[in-house]
Amino acid sequence: MAIAAAAAVLGAVASTLVISATGSVDLSDRAAIEKIVREYILSHPEILPEAMENLRAQELGKTVAANRAAIETPIGDAWDGAADADVTLVEFYDYACGYCRASIADIDRLLAEDKKLKIVYRDMPVLGDDSLEAARLSVAAALAGKFRAMHKPLYAAGRPSPELVDATRKRLGIDARALRAPEIDRELARNLTLQRQLDLSGTPAWVVGDKVLVGAVGYDALKAAIAEARAKAKSR
């Protein structure tokens, strides 16, 4: 994949340089074209990482567009904000992730300021068995209409453990058998498939518009991405 991406980037760079030089270069002269491209890249090596990142963002944008319904449609009541939102911000998270816990304040601030924003929560348990059990409870709670009663309190209680998950389940009145429902397996499998398709390397990860962000990027970056998605949607 990296080789193909690099080839695509070099092809794009070459095309740009050739177009700009059409007045003085014979387009059938392969050696001359390769010399121009080589000299430019050696003189400006900084363009390669930037071009690679731009290409990656474009490819991810296509993947998001192709899977938008699966990404933005919540399971049960695992969402917050405006039901009639004009922008949806999706968070992929893990209850054992401290950075996810720290991002709650950013989400709360965004929702308080933006009355046309919707947040969709997708469990992405990547930090071990305790994460997986917490995710099972999360999906079960969402299916029972109890996600909001569980989400922040579970984070606030600290890193998930079997005892904490079980105590939270009992508090919510959810039967233990509900955590093994086939629908929960399907939802978690769907989310982990999206993780691979979107190349999400960790949690939290965010999708808004056609953009994918990974990590605790903070309030300002999320707000800017939301504004960009809103502007693009209005221009279509």
What ranges do the domains of the chain cover? 2-67, 69-235
Q: What is the pLDDT of residue 2?
A: 44
For 69-235, which CATH class? alpha beta
CA 170, 173, 178 angle in degrees (round to 5)?
Answer: 90
Upstream peptide bond of 74 is cis (omega within 30 degrees of 0): no
Q: What are phi and psi of 228, to 5 degrees?
A: -65, -45
Q: What is the pLDDT of residue 5?
A: 47
What is the mean pLDDT, run by run of 10 residues, along the chain of 236 residues?
47 51 58 74 67 69 92 98 97 97 97 98 97 98 98 96 97 97 97 95 96 96 97 88
pTM of the predicted structure, to 2 decimals:
0.79
Q: Cα 97 from chain centroid?
A: 15
d(CA 105, CA 181): 32
Q: What is the pLDDT of residue 34?
A: 73
d(CA 117, CA 83): 9
